[in-house]
Structure 1
Amino acid sequence: MDRKGGEERASDGYSRYGSYVGAREERFQDHWAKPEQKPLDPIYFANVAWEIATPPVMSPGLVDWRADLHKVTVGYDEEYGRDLMLTVELPLEHHQLAAKIPYTYQDWDRPYRSYEDGFQFLAQPGTRHDRPTLITMVTVRHILGSVTLVTPGKPTGRQLVDDALLSVEYTAATVNAELPEIIRNVQGEPR
């Protein structure tokens, strides 16, 4: 989470993320409770705060993720709505699959740039006439059971920005603690 960079590039002098939150204050309000403008439930609040902090809403995002992960979203458990749920889109290369894929099949492209952290971004290849293309994207869903949820105070202004920043910070810390082992297990060792 790049909180310092957000403060340095802030058009409002306080927080770049705060500008995005301010422009979307209505998303942080429980519309069923109007006219009181009651703040959202902590799980829904965390969902909205994360959504605004990440691309495509905020780009570059307040939260960044490893190059080998294509998308990281936080939402709520749709069945019960009582848990914060992480969803990650993760591309897998042929060697990571249990099935033996013919060598002639086209796989994910590895662009020329590599990353200092050792994670490789995988790009979709162009489709060729002379051989099939097989790219695999895995969706990992995980309940963030140990996340500290923020109960928002005022649904507007600086208090809303501070609560949303804290929510994103807590969520990012939980993702960083719980996600790496899951991703290692999914990717497995090269065969």
Structure 2
Amino acid sequence: MKSTVRTAKQAFWIDAGHGGTQEHYGEQLRRWRHAFAATGGEPGASGVTLDPLHFALAAWEVATRPVADSPYVRTHPRVLDATCHRAEDGRDPLAVVELAAPPPVPLPDGWSSWRHVGEQPYAAGPEGSPTVLSTLELRIPLSGDRLPTPTRPRAEGLPNLDDAQASLEAFVAELNTAVTPFLRELDGVEGVPETDGATMVQWLRTQIEADKATAEAAGAGPWRYLTTSGAAPGPVRQGTGGARRLEFGGRRTVTRVGFHDDDLLHPVEAIHIALHDPADVIARCGAELALLNEHTPALSAARDAGAPCPQCGEGAGSPCQTLRHLAYGYRLRLGWRPEWSPAR
């Protein structure tokens, strides 16, 4: 008879899987754009810093800022606070994470500790009652070399949402590596190696849900590549000498598409963009999430999952080759681990 192994949740994850959360984060970036302003000596463009550390710290601050609604970066109930700032030498970031921990000694009669109900954060007992609130403070040096370099802003003074997303993913990946083992011990979870399936599946789900949320924010209209001005949508015609453009649906078109003034897209690049329009990405991500949900519920956290995959259910929750192949398609993303690769 197989024993059931509980797996610890991640310490941090990006809330890109619910409708409107990524769009709301984009609105917060616009509201707090001043935090991304280039300072003296930093590389910058259009009023936005291109310094990876400054940009990432600002993206984290906006994503975790205590506002009336939910933050974009969500945390395990034991995480009371998590800040990231420059270390004293100014070269690398330093994270300070505070966890709710059990008292180090038995409590006398009448005393209580942290209260915790369901998925709610750990909280103090009723005011006025004798309470012991012990915490565990983790000071985590992070690697500045792993931070992505932001690209030139597409709007004056406004940081790009995809750059902020990449910075958050870099921080979340490193923080989870450091903090999740402590949560495993605090929650009394049986030992599961850092390469366990729950970690891989959570990372994979974050990648897919983030892509889907980005596509939904971009709209569902079809994108087409046209080679002649005013030509009706249809097969691409080469060598006509007409203006090349991308048509994004909703009567929006872009001519002379490029990333910089002298760096225009080649026709094959524009065709590739049109083939992967938001509707296509949304459909693909939906199919991948459905596949993810069909596997072991303990790994995928899917409430509506059917019968668990027999391969995923073996051992300590090791994901099967299907999930490993699916994750391998995202291996160029931040946070990927080589040990997640499918067997040769």
Is TM-score (shorter-chain normalized) higher than 0.5? yes
Provide TM-score, normalisation by structure 2.
Answer: 0.43
SS in 2 for 1:174: helix
The match for 2:53 is: 43
How far does the alpha carbon of each residue in 1:53-88 deviate from its partner, in whole angstroms, 9 at most, with x for none?
1131483111101011111222221x1121122211
Q: Structure 2 matches for 1:82-101, cutoff 5 A?
A: 82-94=91-103, 97=104, 100-101=105-106
Bigger Rg, which one: 2
Change (3 A) 1:105 1:48: farther
How far apart, in 1, do the equivalents of 2:91 and 2:68 lie? 26
How far apart, in 1, do the equivalents of 2:20 and 2:115 lie? 32
- Tell me, yes or no, if structure 1 residue 3 matches structure 2 residue 8: no
Change (3 A) 1:75 1:59: farther
The match for 1:81 is: 90
Q: Structure 2 matches for 1:1-191, cutoff 5 A?
A: 1-5=14-18, 8-9=19-20, 15-32=23-40, 37=47, 39-57=49-67, 59-77=69-87, 79-94=88-103, 97=104, 100-104=105-109, 106-111=111-116, 113-115=117-119, 121-128=121-128, 132-145=130-143, 148-155=146-153, 157=155, 160-184=160-184, 187=186
How far apart, in 1, do the equivalents of 2:15 and 2:86 lie? 24
Aligned residues: 172
Change (3 A) 1:70 1:178: same
The match for 2:310 is: none
SS in 2 for 1:71: strand
Task: Indicate conservation of the 8 Å contact 2:50/2:151, yes or no.
Answer: no
* Higher RCO, 1 vs 2 (CA within 8 Å, ≥6 residues apart): 1
How far does the alpha carbon of each residue in 1:38-57 deviate from its partner, in whole angstroms, 9 at most, with x for none?
51521121111011011314
Unmatched tracts of structure 2, length 5 or more: 1-13, 189-344
How far apart, in 2, do the equivalents of 1:23 and 1:127 lie? 36
Q: What is the letter of the counterpart of residue 106 of structure 1? A: W
Task: Indicate conservation of the 8 Å contact 1:75/1:86, yes or no.
Answer: yes
Task: Indicate conservation of the 8 Å contact 1:9/1:15, yes or no.
Answer: yes
How far off is 1:173 after superposition? 2.0
Task: Indicate conservation of the 8 Å contact 2:29/2:62, yes or no.
Answer: yes
Unmatched tracts of structure 1, length 5 or more: none
Change (3 A) 1:166 1:58: farther
Provide TM-score, normalisation by structure 1.
Answer: 0.73
How far apart, in 1, do the equivalents of 2:100 and 2:58 lie? 26
How far apart, in 1, do the equivalents of 2:144 and 2:49 lie? 22
RMSD (Å), alpha carbons: 3.2
Q: What is the letter of the counterpart of residue 91 of structure 2? A: R
SS in 1 for 2:146: coil
How far off is 1:174 after superposition? 2.1
Task: Indicate conservation of the 8 Å contact 1:39/1:153, yes or no.
Answer: no
Change (3 A) 1:39 1:90: same
